[in-house]
């Protein structure tokens, strides 16, 4: 298993750590500034520079995992500049294609979407807010690749994490070619754990949706390179061929897509349901409660139609 790195906030300061803290046990945090690890990645030109940058820090503090003052952050999130973008690919899994691609098959880029800014990400325990008018929701456990653009705009790969790309598949189904951007305007959660290794080939786990504290639906999932129809390197290289994705300093979170889940099995997520994604293959769990937003009053009133001019 790859080395795991995380960042967090504790008593008003930003820290980093290595490994995955065990609840109830002590863990060492290393004081860092916002951007310090991203700069180390760019200078070292690879994930291996991140672990070295953490252990080089001399100011440390020991805390107990589960301390209420400890708040974990999405991997390498810029909290001061909000210079991060969360995007993803659609329709990537092999189960959605009649047959696997031939080794020499020409690359045909999958659909791509923008979820929002990095600051829109949520972590374990935080609510996932969806529109009041959501039609039918779908959880999507996915691999998230993390990149940081250097000062020349070249994307430096940092590692991978896992996310839940919650979306309104019911709205998407009503107009797949036009309303998908609206359907994706639901909060996305991500684990704070950054795995400092190559994109994973095999990821497996279980989704459990709880209602009123009890399991209401459960199903297995798989993601990662072996589950994806398209070649991951092709998807990444094609996306970064667009200069807009290569703004210097930008952090890019790329979701690689998801397979079928609860909606396809006939389950309908309701307000207050808790989605638990157990990434068993990597010892990671992501749990969030879904919350429907309150309806919004009209921002502007009806536009008055002017009377036709008299002749």
Is the distance from CB of 188 to CB of 115 less than 8 angstroms?
yes
Kindly report the CATH number assigned to the domain that includes residue 158. 3.90.850.10
Spatial distance between the Cα atoms of 39 and 29, rounded to a whole number of angstroms: 19
For the chain, give the number of residues: 311
Tokens of 32: 């860092």
The phi, psi pair for 56, rounded to 5°, reads -80, -15
Closest Cα partner for 261 from 228, 223, 288? 223
Total domains, the chain: 1
Closest Cα partner for 162 from 203, 196, 127, 114? 203
**Residue 178 domain flag:** yes
Strands 60-64 and 141-149: unpaired
Could you give the maximum distance between any two Cα atoms of the chain, in Å? 84
- So what's the pLDDT on residue 307? 73
Q: Which residues pair with 89 in a beta bridge?
A: 112
Is the distance from CB of 149 to CB of 252 less than 8 angstroms?
yes
Spatial distance between the Cα atoms of 54 and 186, rounded to a whole number of angstroms: 33
**Residue 111 domain flag:** yes
**Residue 303 domain flag:** no
* Host domain of residue 109: 78-292
**Residue 229 domain flag:** yes
46-91 pLDDT, tens per residue? Answer: 899 999 999 999 999 999 999 999 999 999 999 989 999 999 999 9
Tokens of 103: 């080794």
Tokens of 38: 């991203």
Is the distance from CB of 121 to CB of 77 less than 8 angstroms?
yes
Spatial distance between the Cα atoms of 273 and 277, rounded to a whole number of angstroms: 13
In this prediction, the residues of the chain whose per-residue pLDDT falls under 70 are 1, 305, 309-311
Cα 82 from chain centre: 15
- So what's the pLDDT on residue 306? 73
- So what's the pLDDT on residue 1? 66
- So what's the pLDDT on residue 311? 58
**Residue 90 domain flag:** yes
Is the distance from CB of 153 to CB of 243 less than 8 angstroms?
yes
**Residue 147 domain flag:** yes
**Residue 197 domain flag:** yes
Tokens of 111: 């659909």
**Residue 108 domain flag:** yes
Spatial distance between the Cα atoms of 223 and 209, rounded to a whole number of angstroms: 19
- DSSP per residue over 28-94, as a string? EEEE--TTHHHHHHHHHTSTHHHHHHHHT---EEEEETT-TTEEE-STT--TTT--EEEEEEES-BG
- So what's the pLDDT on residue 92? 93
Spatial distance between the Cα atoms of 58 and 73, rounded to a whole number of angstroms: 21
């Amino acid at each position: 298993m790859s080395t795991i790195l995380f960042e967090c906030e504790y008593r008003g300061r930003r820290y980093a750590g290595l490994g995955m803290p065990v609840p109830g046990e002590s863990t060492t945090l290393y004081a860092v500034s916002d951007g310090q690890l991203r700069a180390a990645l760019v200078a070292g030109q690879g994930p291996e520079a991140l672990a070295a940058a953490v252990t080089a820090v001399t100011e440390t503090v020991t805390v107990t995992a589960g301390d209420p003052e400890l708040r974990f952050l999405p991997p390498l999130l810029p909290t001061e500049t909000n210079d991060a973008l969360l995007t993803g690919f659609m329709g990537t899994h092999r189960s959605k294609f009649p047959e696997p691609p031939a080794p020499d098959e020409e690359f045909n880029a999958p659909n791509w979407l923008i979820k929002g800014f990095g600051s829109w990400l949520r972590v374990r325990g935080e609510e996932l807010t969806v529109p009041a008018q959501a039609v039918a929701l779908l959880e999507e456990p996915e691999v998230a690749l993390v990149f940081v653009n250097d000062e020349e705009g070249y994307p430096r790969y940092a590692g991978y994490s896992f996310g839940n790309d919650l979306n309104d598949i019911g709205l998407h189904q009503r107009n797949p070619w036009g309303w998908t951007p609206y359907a994706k305007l639901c909060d996305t959660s991500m684990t704070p754990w950054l795995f400092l290794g190559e994109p994973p080939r095999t990821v497996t786990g279980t989704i459990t949706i709880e209602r009123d504290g009890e399991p209401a639906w459960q199903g297995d999932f798989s993601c990662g390179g072996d589950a994806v129809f398209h070649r991951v390197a092709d998807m990444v290289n094609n996306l970064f061929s667009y200069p807009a994705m290569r703004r210097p300093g930008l952090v890019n979170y790329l979701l690689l897509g998801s397979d079928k889940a609860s909606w396809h099995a006939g389950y309908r997520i309701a307000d207050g349901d808790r989605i638990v994604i157990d990434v068993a293959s990597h010892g990671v769990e992501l749990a969030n409660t879904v919350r429907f937003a309150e309806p919004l009053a009209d921002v502007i009133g009806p536009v008055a139609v002017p009377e036709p001019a008299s002749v």
